[in-house]
Amino acid sequence: MSRILCVVDNPAEWPLTLPNVSVVSAQDYLMDPRYSALPYCRVYNLCRSYRYQTAGYYVSLLAEARGHKPMPNVSTMQDLRFPSVARAMSGELDDVLDRTLGHLRGAQFHLPVYFGHSINPRYDRLARSLFNLFPVPLLRAHFVREDDAWELRSAVAISMDEVPAGHREVILKLASAHFAHPAARKSRRAPARYRMAILRDRRDPTPPSDDRALEQFCEAAERLRIEAELISEEDYGELAEYDALFIRETTAVNNPTYRFARRAEAEGLVVIDDPDSIVRCTNKVFLAELLQRHHVPVPRTCVLHRHNIEEVRRQLGLPLVLKQPDSAFSLGVVRVQTEEEYRREVERLLETSDLLIAQEFIQTSFDWRIGIIDRRPLFACQYYMARNHWQVYHHLGNGEPAYGPYKTLPVELAPRRVVHTALRAANLIGDGFYGVDLKVVNGRVYVIEVNDNPSVESDVEDRVLRQTLYDRVMEVFLARLEARRQGHQPGS
C-alpha cells in the first residue's frame, strides 16, 4: 500500500495516477482497518470541511493517533479557526508582503495557495511563506492594507468546491508535482511575539502536570508564536519580563503560587490561575458557602467549629467526611465512621484551622472530573477509587500515593447534567482553568469541589484530545494577550 494517502470526500474529484499516491475516501480511511494498521504514511487531508467532529476533522485526528503524518494536523486546523492567530503570525510576512504586494493600489487582496504555490508566479514567494506558517493543501489568505502597510487578516482552508473551475487543472498538476517529489518541509515559525512563564515545582510529588505534558504546553505555545519557558520559585524577580504566567504548580494562598499570581497580575500579565481563583478554590469553606448560596447541588455539608461539634455529627450522621479548608489531592481529607474516631479527628484538624468542612459520605466507584477553561468544557474524565480505598488518591506510608484507574471521554459523551452542573459551579469562580469533581448517585449530580490548577497529565486528561487539549489552553492565552494588547479584556 502507498505511504502517501490523499484523503478526499469523493475520489472521482481527484484523478491522480501517481505510483506512490493512493486516493482514498474519508470513509475508507476512517473505517477500513487496513489504514488503521498502516505503520507509517503521510496523509494529505483534502476533505471539504475541517470543522470540529466532521469527517475531515477526524481524518487528521485519527492520523495523529495512528502515528501517521497528516496535513493539516489538528493544531493547524485550530490555528485557522482563530483570526487572532493569523494576525499574530503576520509579522513573519512583513518583508515579503512589502515586496510582493507593494504595487497593488487596492485596500484588500485575496490569495489562493495550492500546495504551497500560487497560480501567478509573482505571488509564489508569498504563497510559500504562507504555506510555511499554515501547512494546508488548499488555502485562501486575506490581506488588508492599513496605514500604508499590508497585514494578514485571515487564512482559511478551502475545499475543491470553493476552487474556481479554471484553477482545478492547475491544482491537479501542482498536486502531482508535490506528491512526486515529497521533500520534507519544515514549517518556519515567526519570531515569538509574546513570552510566557510556566511555573512548576520539580520537588512536588503530585504535580498538576508531568514533564511530557509541560513539553506539550510549550510546543502548543510555540505554534502560536508564544515563547514558553519553565520557571521556578527562584525566578520571581524576573516575572515582569514576561507577558503571561501559567501556573502548573499545586496552588495555595500560603505558598509561592499565590505570590506569583498577585505579582503577575500587578505587572499586567495574563495569569492562569489568577489570584482570586486560587483564594476561592483552595478554601473549601468558601466553596461550601458559595455553592450552597447559589443552589448548586452538593452533598449535605456543614461548616464545623469548636462550638457545633456534636450538632454537626447529629445532623449529618456517620460515616461522614472531614476536610481541612485547604486540602488538596485528598490530603487533609478523612472519613470517620465511629463517634470516637469523629471526635479524635475533629480535635486533630482543629489544631490547624478554626473552621472545617463536614460532609455526608457518598460512596461511588468513581468521581467525574470536568475540565473547564474560559467558561467552556475542555475534557471529561472518570477517576476511579484507589484499590481498597474510598478516595481516588491513597496516600501510603512511604509517601507515594496510589491511584485508581481512570477513563477519559469526549465531553460530548459525558452526561449533559454532569457537564451543565460543572459549568454552573465553575462559572461562580471565574473564567480561568478549573477541574470540577462531581458524583452521580441515583440519577442526582453532586458537586464535590471546584479545583483551580486542575491536573493535566500526558495520556490521562489528554487521552481524547491529545495535542488539541494543549492548543486550546494556549489559544485562550493568545486571545487574552491579543485583547490586552488592543486595550480591552475578552468579553468587554
Cell of 355: 473552621
Residue 186 pLDDT > 50? no
| 24-29 average pLDDT score | 94
Looking at the chain, the whole-number percentage of residues with pLDDT higher than 70 is 91
Phi-psi group of 333: left, alpha or beta (phi > 0 → left; psi -120 to 50 → alpha; rest → beta): beta
Say if residues 227 and 259 touch (Cβ distance below 8 Å): no
Q: Supply the pLDDT for residue 440.
A: 96
Cell of 207: 504535580
Say if residues 278 and 251 touch (Cβ distance below 8 Å): yes
Residue 492 pLDDT > 70? no
Say if residues 111 and 127 touch (Cβ distance below 8 Å): yes
Residue 433 pLDDT > 60? yes
**Is 300-360 in CATH node 3.30.1490.20?**
yes
Looking at the chain, the whole-number percentage of residues with pLDDT higher than 90 is 51
Q: Supply the pLDDT for residue 394.
A: 60
Determine the Cα–Cα distance for residues 133 and 121; give it in Å rounded to an integer.
Answer: 19
Say if residues 382 and 407 touch (Cβ distance below 8 Å): yes
Element of type H or E holding 146: strand 138-146
The candidate with the shortest Cα–Cα distance to 469, out of 93, 213, 144, 227, is 213
Q: What is the mean pLDDT of the chain?
A: 87
33-42, 101-110, 181-190, 269-278: range with highest mean pLDDT: 269-278
Tell the CATH topology of 194-273.
Rossmann fold (3.40.50)
The tens digit of pLDDT for each residue in 31-61 reads: 999 998 887 678 899 998 888 889 999 999 9
The candidate with the shortest Cα–Cα distance to 175, out of 65, 54, 313, 14, is 14
Cell of 120: 501567478
Domain boundaries, the chain: 4-74, 82-164, 194-273, 300-360, 366-474
In words, the CATH class of domain 366-474 is alpha beta
Q: Supply the pLDDT for residue 450.
A: 96
Looking at the chain, how many residues does it have?
A: 492
Q: Fold identical between 194-273 and 366-474? A: no
404 DSSP assignment: -
Q: Supply the pLDDT for residue 369.
A: 96
The tens digit of pLDDT for each residue in 133-169 reads: 788 899 999 999 988 888 898 899 888 778 888 898 8
| 410-426 average pLDDT score | 97
The tens digit of pLDDT for each residue in 324-336 reads: 887 655 557 888 9
Cell of 19: 505510483
Residue 100 pLDDT > 60? yes
Say if residues 326 and 355 touch (Cβ distance below 8 Å): no
Buried b (16+ CB within 10 A) or exposed e, 49-83: ebeeeebbbbbbbbbbebebbbbbbbbbbbbbebe
Per DSSP, the residues of 270-339 read EEES-HHHHHHHS-HHHHHHHHHHTT---S-EEEE-TTSHHHHHHHH-SSEEEEEEEEETTEEEEEE-SH
Where is pLDDT greater, at 177 or 488? 177
The candidate with the shortest Cα–Cα distance to 248, out of 214, 279, 224, 282, is 214
Say if residues 458 and 210 touch (Cβ distance below 8 Å): yes
Q: Supply the pLDDT for residue 7.
A: 94
Determine the Cα–Cα distance for residues 260 and 201; give it in Å rounded to an integer.
Answer: 13
| 435-446 average pLDDT score | 96
The candidate with the shortest Cα–Cα distance to 321, out of 367, 360, 366, 365, is 360
Residue 399 pLDDT > 60? no
Where is pLDDT greater, at 375 or 43? 375
Residue 393 pLDDT > 70? no
| 240-266 average pLDDT score | 89
Where is pLDDT greater, at 189 or 216? 216
> Per CATH, the architecture of 4-74 is what?
3-Layer(aba) Sandwich (3.40)
The tens digit of pLDDT for each residue in 52-91 reads: 889 999 999 998 888 787 888 887 887 787 777 777 777 7
Q: Supply the pLDDT for residue 328.
A: 58
Strand partners, 231: 199
Residue 192 pLDDT > 80? no
Residue 388 pLDDT > 70? no
Contacts of 305 (CB under 8 A, 6+ apart): 350, 354, 355, 356
Where is pLDDT greater, at 291 or 233? 291
Q: Supply the pLDDT for residue 190.
A: 53
